[in-house]
Amino acid sequence: MTPSGWIMRDGFRLALHDAGGPGRVVLFQHGLCGDARQTAEAFPADAGLRRVTLDCRGHGASEFDPAPGLAKFTEDLVAVADGLGGPVPVGGISMGAALALRLAVARPDLVSHLILVRPAWGLGIEAPDNLAPNVEVGMALYRFPVAEAREAFLGSEMAARLRVEAPDNLASLSGFFAREPVSRTAVLLTALSREGLGVSAAQAAALRLPVLVCGTAEDAIHPVALARELATAIPGARYVDLPPKGRDKAAHLAALQAAISGFLTE
């Protein structure tokens, strides 16, 4: 996906994607090892909304940082949000939801609304257990050539469990073996999936802004219980259940787009 612009952060050139148009600007972030194509697919095609996405370091067209971290990614988003001319709605999918929440806690002056889609990082949790599949894939890529790494993972107990409980997770994890360069994918998966959110329950409870949390069943990496816990922890947050993405991706995306559009335009 061709960026619409670039920013420089700590010597790294990062790709910015602005959908353009006269609509209300929404900073909406992708998940781990994703990029702006993911947000473009998930975001509502609403003439009243204008999506802006930053490819995080090592993602999409942005340069790779060999020491990635949620704190660095959040500071990059602070720079983008600060340049958008006032508080704007901020949200994201999975890792993007973690970054949006961190941004809202660190700089509430920059965030008018918060959208957390399929969150994967919970409050006060270090090295989340639900992200263990990411680490397993990353470690396989470290240890073996790609074909052997893929075979080892797909033959593992983890893959067998996901095949039954969360087929969409397994499909995403399988795709990481084709993500180039694999050495960088291994770094991103292992480093970021072992990191805690960096937001406490007290900080979440102190938020005072409109919040939308979207969860879905049949998703082991983004547990629906975690999404509901976040919605409970943040005062006044609205929770929406989405159809399982692995069963019907079109229905999942349509429900997500309707939830975002309704939340921001009502």
DSSP state of 101: H
Please say which residue of 192, 218, 243 terminates a domain: 192
Banded model confidence at residue 58, pLDDT cuts 50, 70, 90: very high
Q: Sheet of 5-9: strands edge to edge? A: 5-9, 12-18, 49-54, 24-29, 88-93, 111-117, 211-216, 238-242
Measured CA to CA in angstroms, residue 218 lies from 63, 167, 245, 248 at distances of 33, 8, 8, 12
Q: Are residues 108 and 224 in the same domain?
A: yes
Please say which residue of 169, 192, 215 terminates a domain: 192
The whole-number pLDDT of residue 132 equals 97
Single pTM value for the model: 0.97
User: What is the CATH number for 118?
Assistant: 3.40.50.1820
Q: Are residues 182 and 99 in the same domain?
A: no
Q: Does the pLDDT of residue 22 top 90, yes or no?
A: no
Q: Are residues 120 and 139 in the same domain?
A: no
The whole-number pLDDT of residue 224 equals 97
Q: Encode pLDDT of 171-211 as tens digits.
A: 999 999 999 999 999 999 999 999 999 999 999 999 999 99
How far is Cα 1 from Cα 38, in angstroms, rounded to an integer? Answer: 10
Q: Encode pLDDT of 93-111 as tens digits.
A: 999 999 999 999 999 999 9
Q: Are residues 92 and 206 in the same domain?
A: yes
Q: Are residues 87 and 202 in the same domain?
A: yes
Contact in structure between 223 and 78 (CB atoms under 8 Å): no
Q: Are residues 91 and 73 in the same domain?
A: yes
The whole-number pLDDT of residue 145 equals 97
Cis, peptide link before residue 181, omega less than 30° from 0? yes
- The average pLDDT across 239-257 equals 97
Q: Are residues 19 and 68 in the same domain?
A: yes
Q: Are residues 90 and 41 in the same domain?
A: yes
Please say which residue of 138, 167, 192 terminates a domain: 192
- The count of structural domains within the chain is 2
How far is Cα 38 from Cα 53, in angstroms, rounded to an integer? Answer: 10
What are the structure tokens assigned to 105, written together?
């806690």
Q: Are residues 25 and 87 in the same domain?
A: yes
Contact in structure between 210 and 263 (CB atoms under 8 Å): yes
Which residues contact residue 266 at a Cβ distance below 8 angstroms, ignoring those fewer than 6 apart? none
Q: Are residues 142 and 87 in the same domain?
A: no
What are the structure tokens assigned to 244, written together?
């399982």
Q: Does the pLDDT of residue 23 top 80, yes or no?
A: yes
Q: Are residues 188 and 200 in the same domain?
A: no
Q: Is the dihedral of CA 168, 169, 170, 173 positive or negative?
A: positive
Q: Are residues 121 and 19 in the same domain?
A: yes
- The average pLDDT across 221-230 equals 97
* Domain that residue 242 falls in: 5-125+196-265
Count the Cβ atoms, other than its own, within 10 Å of residue 164: 9
